[in-house]
Structures are given as C-alpha cells and as structure tokens.
Chain A
Amino acid sequence: MTRVLSGVVLLAVVGSISWLAPPEGLVALAALVAVLAFFELATLCEGLGAPIPRLPGAALTLAVTVSAAWPGKTLEPVLVAAIVIAAGAAVGAGAPDRGRLAATAATVFAPLYLGLPLGGLASIRWTDGREAAILVVLAVVASDTSQYYAGRLFGRRLLAPVISPKKTIEGAVGGFIGGSLLMVALGAWWLPGVPAPARALLGLAIVGLGIIGDLFESMLKRAAAVKDSSSLIPGHGGVLDRIDALLLAAPVYVVVLKCGPWRTA
C-alpha cells in the first residue's frame, strides 16, 4: 500500500512539474534527481571497492545533466573535466593498487550513466515538447507495472536467476505488451509524427532496455550486498531504484527522436 501511495504521489509531483513548468524547470528537476541518484550510486560503488570522490563526482553529474539538457550546449568540456578529475583522484589516492582502474572508471561512468538520460529527457522538452518527454517515462512506468502484475499472476520461470530472484520471463512478456501498447496508444496523441509500427518497435526497445537497466542496477546492489540504493522513497527504496530502467531506455529514446527520420518537432 505504501508503495502504491508513494508511487502515485511521486508521479503526481514529477508529472505536474514536467507538464506545467517551463523547460528550465524540467532541467532543474533532472539535475536534482541526477545528483540524488549520484550519491546513492557513489555509496554502491564504494561498497564495490570503486570509490568515487563525492563532491567532484556530484559536480560532474550536475554538469553532464545540464549540458545534455540545455539547448546548444556541448558535452565535450564536461567529458574532458571528468577524465581529468578521475585521473587526478586516482593519482591523489596514493599507493598503486589493483582496484584503481575500477575507481577511475566509476568516476567517469557515474556522471554519464545518470546525466545523459536525465539531461536528455529535459533537452527534448525544448525541441520535441513536454508530451514527448513524458511519454517515455510513462512507457517505463507501464512496463514496470505490467511486469510486476504479470509476474505475480503468471510468473513461473526466472528471467535472470543469478541477478534477480523476482524477475520472471512471464513478467517480462507482460512488460513488453504493456510498454509497447502505451507507446502505440498514447503515442498517437503525444508522438503523432512517428508512425504506429515505429512506435511499437520503440516501445519494445524501451521495455527491453528498461529490463537491462533494471537488472544492471540489481547486479550492482547484489554485488555490494545491499537491498535498496537508499530509503528515500517509501516502499520504492532509493531514487536509483526508481529510475534504473529509465537510465538505459531514455537516452536511446532521446537519440532516436533527435536523429530519427520522423517529424517530432
């Protein structure tokens, strides 16, 4: 019950900001979510023996998110800064040891993993409109929800037993149906420039990427031996737990809208 209630509250708050606020508001929201998720991810990485320097890492996450979100900004300076900071932190850590590469890589990876999808979503708010930005979030929500209920009703065979004891093949099938149905149905109004068959394919891709994103985060948690990334959202765990599927689905969706052959602007 807590899970449903806090999910509805969360969707209402995020939804109304995305719908009503000017594009700058969505950039701010994306930046806030990215930074909160960064601190959770940094804790996970620390547990995995790949510590990320907290403040520089948070600043990089913020910078990647805003550069990806703001029209006309380029990511190059931030990428260069990320590599310099990661290498500098490795040198600053002193004595050589075998885990140094993992820490260096995590320092570059975390800001990109979080900032590109969240910033990318805010960026299409400017050029493709709020409906296009919200649609992919709702597709992921539809996929998660239908996976959950299809899994509870029909779940028999485990999808990835080594990583997740709960995800089932039947649940995943439910997710593919739910996510692509939403893309086809709601997309008729919200993404009319993309033809229905392409929307269906995009929906399948979003669900598939979402499942990988979900399993990826589960794998990190399992390796670090924690259950939730934090307990910020009652019934859902942390911010990272809530957005894990979106983190892989959103950037692909954004690239498809920006470079695809369809009129979405």
Chain B
Amino acid sequence: MSLDQLLAWLPSGSPEEALARQVNFEQLPAHVAIIMDGNGRWAARRHLPRVEGHRAGINSVRDVVEASARLGFDVLTIYAFSMENWKRPEAEVSTLMALLKRYLRLELGTLLKNNIRFRVIGRPQELATDIQDELADAVERTSRNTGLLFNIALNYGGRAEIVDAARRLIAAGVGESELDEKRFSDFLYTAGQPDPDLLIRTSGEMRVSNFLLWQIAYAEIWVTDTLWPDFRASHLLQAILEYQKRDRRYGGLNPSRVATVR
C-alpha cells in the first residue's frame, strides 16, 4: 500500500510516524519472515505462567499483520508453531491451539478489511480436526483477496518442508534432467511466492531454528533483543530501515562498488 495508508493508522506525532516517514517505499522487502520468540521469557520476567506470554503475543501479531498490510509487503510469514513445539507441556500446546482458533475467528474481519490473503504452511493435516476446519475456513474466505499474503507456519519444520517437496516431486515424476532450483522450489509450501528478503527474530537468539531453510538463502537477518509480546509496528519499521541500509550482493559485488574499483 503506501505511506498514506500507514500514516492513517499510526497515531499522529508518534515515534512510529517519524520512523514511517524515513521508509523508502521503493525499496521495501517483498517478503518478510518473522521468528516470534520470547513469549515464555516475557511471562517469566513478570512471574506469570508461560501461557500469559502467548496471550500477550497475540497483540503483537495483530499489530504486525496490519502494519505489514499497510506498508505493502507482498508476503508476511510468521513462525507460530514448529514441529518441535509438540515437546512442550500438553496444556500449553492446547492453550496455544485454543488461542489460535480464537484468533482466526476474531481476526477474520480484520484480514478481510485489509484485503489480506491467509495461508498455512507446514503440516496442518497433523493438527486437531477442529483447528484444521477453522484454518481451512479462514484460507477459503480470504482466498479472493489481492493484498498481503499472510502465511502462518504451523506444525512447520524447514527440513520437513524440503523432504515433503522431494516426495512430491518424485510423485510428480520429475526427471533428473528437469530438476533445478527453480523447479524444486515449485514443490515447497511457498511455491510461487518470493523468497524472504528479511528475516526478523525477536528476543536476541542467533538461530534459524529450522525455519524456511531453503527460502532464506539470501535473506537479510535482523535480530532484536525485544521479546515478542513487546514487539510492535515500531520495531518492524526499525527492521525495515535497517534492511534498507544493508548492501545486498547475493554473492556478487554491489554495482556501485564495482564502478569505484574500476
């Protein structure tokens, strides 16, 4: 979308507005991926149970999704639940699923209003059937939207995605000579989507945690110490400004530097 749409949403005179005005809308990342980390730590610091951190984290998701739609990215992907997260206590997992269901029911209006297409990546077929129904309903009802593509990674693992892609391309009978990187990526969960230009991770951890392993080959990584429940549009804007200062070379040399060397 545009600066105007972002400014209409941000409180005027706020620090967010000042940040938004510095953004170069010609050089926005097409795809932003976020590893939402730190809900548990946020709760522990307040001597609250971990589920309180997840509840608080929902407000951050709302803020970031709407900011992303208004900024005008093509794709936003958030890492909501990894295949490894099943190791958490059963009550915590069930609460997360209940919160997800409620989020989908209550935020569908916001998704529709902002012209957002909702998609799921991962192995949702292994989730409880009521969650699957709710997800399928949200995907279907937003499928005709044309704005931001909002991927939620659920029961997701990067290696599992690559294995799933390999299985599907074998099943599709793709021959050895036909297979290249482009063809392979057509079998990933994110087929047809641009790769992430910017990967954001909260709460200061320097790990990729099995997220979009194939797709982040050339992504710029931005890590903040902010815990996910404290993450807001202002942090997203900071990440964008930082990204726009980066020198992206994709393994080659920056053209302007090449000119100087000559």
Contact = CB atoms under 8 A, between A and B. Distances in A.
> DSSP majority for the B interface?
helix
Nearest to B103: A265
Interface string B86-102: 00001101110111001
Interface in A132-168: none
Nearest to B51: A126
Interface in B120-149: 128
A21 B107 CA distance: 31
B52 A71 contact: no
A223 to B, nearest CB: 40
Contacts of A261: 106
A264 B51 CA distance: 14
Most B C-beta atoms less than 10 A away, residue of A71, A128, A129 = A71
B49 to A, nearest CB: 5
B102 A70 contact: no
Given A126-B51, A129-B55, A265-B55, A72 B99 contact: no
A23 interface: yes
Nearest to A261: B106
Interface string A231-265: 00000000000000000000000000010011101
Interface size classification for chain B: 10 to 19
B165 interface: no
Nearest to B92: A71
A71 to B, nearest CB: 4
> DSSP majority for the A interface?
loop
A133 to B, nearest CB: 12
Contact of A265 (B93, B97, B102, B128): B102
Interface residues of A, number: 16
Contacts of B99: 127, 265
A73 B91 CA distance: 9
B49 A265 contact: no
A263 B63 CA distance: 14
B58 interface: yes
Given A70-B91, A72-B128, A265-B55, 15 more contacts: A22-B49, A23-B49, A71-B94, A72-B90, A72-B91, A72-B93, A72-B94, A72-B97, A127-B98, A128-B55, A261-B106, A262-B106, A263-B106, A265-B58, A265-B99
Would you list the 7 A-B pairs with minimal beta carbon distance, nearest first? Answer: A72-B94, A71-B94, A71-B95, A22-B49, A126-B95, A265-B102, A127-B98
20 contacts: A23-B51, A24-B91, A70-B94, A71-B91, A71-B97, A71-B98, A72-B97, A126-B95, A126-B98, A127-B51, A127-B95, A127-B99, A127-B102, A128-B55, A129-B55, A262-B106, A263-B106, A265-B99, A265-B102, A265-B103
